[in-house]
């Protein structure tokens, strides 16, 4: 009972703290990859804690399930039941188990659906564009004849960077190199996986403010990370200029305009080079991420660990 | 596998430059004769193109005759429209260099850049 309550309390505390401290955090803009990692740790820790809370409530059901009360298994189950006892008894156990299964099932189904949909969309783009692309104009990229300026990548196997003739004509050679390097950084950083997981979680629980904030922030931070990787190939101001050119042309038909997207922040960031995040701050954030990852398991296992310790100590004391 | 993809593009080019539906045999005869190609390979490629909805087919006697579903330009334009339109909903399907901004925000960006250059 205590473990379940502690887990729910932990999940709530992590959610509240994250929503207060993480969105638009200045340090995450300076170290975007660490920012993504932190958001991921939070969005894993919260649902995992809730699922574990449900399972902790269900532990007392164990002896009933095994039906064996004499063997080692039975003894273990009995011991566990004693330490995870709830006043709610069987009813609380069944409710906890059902809740845990429902939440994890929902997340799994959403993830599977998301993966299926993006894989189909990517295959369609890859197969279709392969028929009309030129490969001899820009090394490593497909060139598509189109009057709309666009550069994007299709993740997957094989991954592909795509650029339109209109985009090539508005960019200088330096800007072109940087824009393509940005897309390559998306692919080598496997940013699509981070985006897919975040989108799947958000879709599974559309009313969660935490998961919505995580999806939005992760989308912004992977762009900034790709920008940081790309500027290794040229000037920051050139990448900023490329962003402005492609984000700000006249809007052709069929193109969605993104209100308040990360483009403005990205340009500001490229023009004002801030100092790197101090090493000490990096380490403390990484430590926090590690703690977030193991804390739910430790809390869930605390009663069992306590039982083992108590047995061990009493044996040690009496001999 | 890469070879088959290349052949798909070549076969599609043949269909696009033809004025009428072509049978497998006609496609095979029109393809550049740089190396020997099996009839069944071309048949497989045409079947794939039909399955992916890039080509349509109709019965001509006992054989299938294939024609492109859309013109080359319309095919490319439709795919680009899909690619540019998916940005908002399915963020993870394709990763765009930058989203398209409304004019006021774009102007704000340009002002930022100009200030930097002065």
pLDDT tens string A60-77: 887 655 555 566 666 777
pLDDT digits (tens, 9 = 90+) for A74-130: 677 777 777 787 777 788 889 999 999 999 999 999 999 999 999 999 999 999 999
Range of the domain at A173: 2-318
Instruction: Give the range of the structural domain holding residue B55, as residue numbers without chain letter.
Output: 2-68
Which residue is closest to A130 within chain B, CA to CA? B9
From B16's Cα to the closest Cα of chain A, the distance in A is 11
Q: Contacts for A276-283 with beta carbons within 8 Å, 24 or more apart?
A: A276/A30, A276/A31, A277/A27, A277/A30, A277/A31, A277/A34, A281/A27, A282/A31, A282/A34
* Nearest chain A CA: its distance from B80 CA (Å): 8
Question: What is the pLDDT averaged over residues A251-268?
Answer: 74
Residue B28 maps to which CATH number?
Answer: 1.10.10.10
Position B13 in a domain: yes
Inter-chain touch A261–B101, beta carbons under 8 Å:
yes
CB contact under 8 A, A267 and B109: yes
Assigned domain for B57 exists: yes
Nearest to A195 among B91, B103, B109 (CB): B91
What is the complex's ipTM, to 2 decimals? Answer: 0.87
Q: Which of B6, B83, B112, B113 to mutate to test the interface with A (most CBs of A within 10 A)?
A: B83
Beta-carbon separation of A248 and B107 below 8 A: yes
Angstrom CA distances, B108 to A238, A245, A248, B57, B114, stand at 17, 12, 10, 52, 10
Residue B43 lies in a domain: yes
Among the residue ranges A1-10, A64-73, A98-107, A289-298, the one predicted with the least confidence is A64-73
DSSP 8-state class, residue A258: -
- Alpha carbons B83 and B18: distance in angstroms, whole number: 28
How many domains are contained in chain A?
Answer: 1
Number of compact structural domains in chain B: 1
């Amino acid at each position: 009972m205590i473990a379940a309550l502690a887990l729910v309390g932990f999940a709530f505390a992590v959610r509240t703290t994250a929503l207060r401290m993480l969105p638009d955090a200045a340090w995450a803009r300076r170290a975007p990859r660490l920012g993504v990692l932190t958001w991921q740790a939070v969005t894993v820790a919260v649902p995992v804690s809730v699922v574990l809370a449900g399972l902790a409530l269900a532990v007392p059901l164990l002896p009933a399930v095994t039906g064996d009360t004499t063997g080692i298994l039975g003894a273990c189950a009995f011991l566990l039941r004693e330490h995870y006892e709830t006043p709610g008894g069987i009813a609380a156990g069944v409710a906890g188990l059902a809740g845990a299964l429902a939440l994890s099932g929902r997340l799994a189904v959403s993830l599977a659906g998301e993966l299926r949909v993006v894989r189909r969309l990517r295959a369609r783009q890859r197969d279709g564009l392969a028929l009309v692309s030129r490969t001899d104009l820009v090394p490593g990229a497909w060139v598509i004849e189109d009057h709309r300026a666009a550069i994007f990548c299709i993740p997957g196997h094989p991954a592909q960077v795509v650029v339109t003739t209109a985009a090539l004509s508005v960019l200088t050679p330096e800007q072109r190199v940087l824009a393509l390097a940005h897309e390559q950084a998306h692919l080598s950083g496997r940013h699509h996986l981070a985006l897919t997981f975040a989108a799947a979680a958000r879709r599974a629980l559309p009313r969660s403010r935490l998961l919505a904030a995580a999806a939005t922030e992760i989308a912004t931070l992977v762009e900034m990370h790709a920008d940081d990787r790309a500027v290794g190939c040229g000037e920051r101001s050139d990448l900023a200029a490329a962003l402005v050119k492609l984000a700000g042309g006249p809007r052709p038909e069929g193109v969605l305009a993104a209100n308040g997207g990360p483009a403005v922040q990205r340009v500001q960031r490229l023009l004002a080079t801030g100092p790197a995040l101090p090493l000490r701050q990096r380490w403390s954030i990484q430590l926090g991420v590690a703690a977030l990852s193991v804390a739910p398991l430790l809390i869930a296992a605390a009663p069992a660990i306590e039982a083992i310790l108590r047995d061990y100590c009493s044996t040690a004391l009496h001999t | 596998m890469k070879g088959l993809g290349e052949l798909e593009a070549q076969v599609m080019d043949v269909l696009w430059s033809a004025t009428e539906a072509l049978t497998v045999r006609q496609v095979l005869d029109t393809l550049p004769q740089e190396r020997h190609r099996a009839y069944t390979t071309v048949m497989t490629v045409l079947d794939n193109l039909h399955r992916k909805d890039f080509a349509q087919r109709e019965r001509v006697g006992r054989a299938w005759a294939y024609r492109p579903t859309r013109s080359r330009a319309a095919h490319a334009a439709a795919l680009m429209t899909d690619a540019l339109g998916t940005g908002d909903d399915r963020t993870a399907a394709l990763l765009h260099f930058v989203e398209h901004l409304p004019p006021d925000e774009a102007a704000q960006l340009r002002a930022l850049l100009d200030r930097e250059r002065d």
